[in-house]
Structure 1
């Protein structure tokens, strides 16, 4: 049985390894050293980990800017997939966002990642007709 809890610095190395497994071709600005440090500056209680025994088996970052909530960087180790870990992480992130007053959550998925798209569909998320745009401010 896994437990979802707020991230703590002691989880860093395991989350970093998890992200390397889950996001092997990720951009440098998404590196754990950068992303987690920045997340902990704002709403650290929305950086969550799933623990099985004493090991990290999943993580998610959520955020709320007063208008919309966001889910990002959700990852579950291969050894724990299809066991409800992602569902539990998502449910706790949604619970915490709702407690802040959030009424709508957005997220982005790489279009070709059909397995993850289906996970979110089963969790009640729907595809909206939007265009996702970005601008890199620094490298």
Structure 2
């Protein structure tokens, strides 16, 4: 398999990227993936990188740098493009994007029952951190 081109997504990639995220089971009812995509593209410190295989999207990853840490979200590889190193290539592209912006550390969140994702990231050398993630939905709180 040839290596797909990895580049920054454009606004008109939104529908295809969200379809990919849905196909990979990355969306949740309480998140609006279209809004997530638009916010990432509109932010000065975030991006969505896409892997193109011809005209189709083979993969994507969202990256952001908050000034303290780099974050990775929505790493997705189309089911028919898996097991060929594309996930690894997307993570390398995300790390390059973050390094170029001076991020000293990369972090990401994985649901605790997602053994496949945990195994994938462990194989890339990522380690579980001794941190508890806390959160609150701001649109519903005063």
Does TM, normalized by the shorter one, top 0.5? yes
* CA RMSD between the two structures: 1.6
Moved over 2 A (4+): 43-46
8 Å Cα contact 1:39-1:47 kept in structure 2:
yes
Match of 1:13 among 2, 12, 15: 15
What is the CA deviation profile of residues 25-55 of structure 1, one whole-angstrom value per residue up to 9, with x for unaligned ones? Answer: 61342x3321111112213763100111111
CA 44–37 in structure 1, closer or farther in 2 if over 3 Å, else same: farther
In the alignment, the residues of structure 2 paired with residue 106 and residue 53 of structure 1 have an alpha-carbon distance, to the nearest angstrom, of 31
Question: Tell me, what secondary structure is at the counterpart of 2:138?
Answer: coil
CA 25–102 in structure 1, closer or farther in 2 if over 3 Å, else same: closer
CA 18–26 in structure 1, closer or farther in 2 if over 3 Å, else same: same
Q: What aligned pairs does 1:82-121 form with structure 2 within 5 A after superposition?
A: 82-121=83-122
Q: What aligned pairs does 1:1-139 form with structure 2 within 5 A after superposition?
A: 1=2, 2-23=4-25, 26-29=28-31, 31-43=32-44, 46-138=47-139
Q: TM-score, normalised by structure 1?
A: 0.91
**Uncovered stretches (5+) of structure 2, i.e. residues with no partner:** none
Deviation (angstroms), 1:96? 1.0
In the alignment, the residues of structure 1 paired with residue 10 and residue 69 of structure 2 have an alpha-carbon distance, to the nearest angstrom, of 25
How many residues get paired? 138
8 Å Cα contact 2:52-2:58 kept in structure 1:
yes
8 Å Cα contact 2:21-2:27 kept in structure 1:
no
CA 18–92 in structure 1, closer or farther in 2 if over 3 Å, else same: same
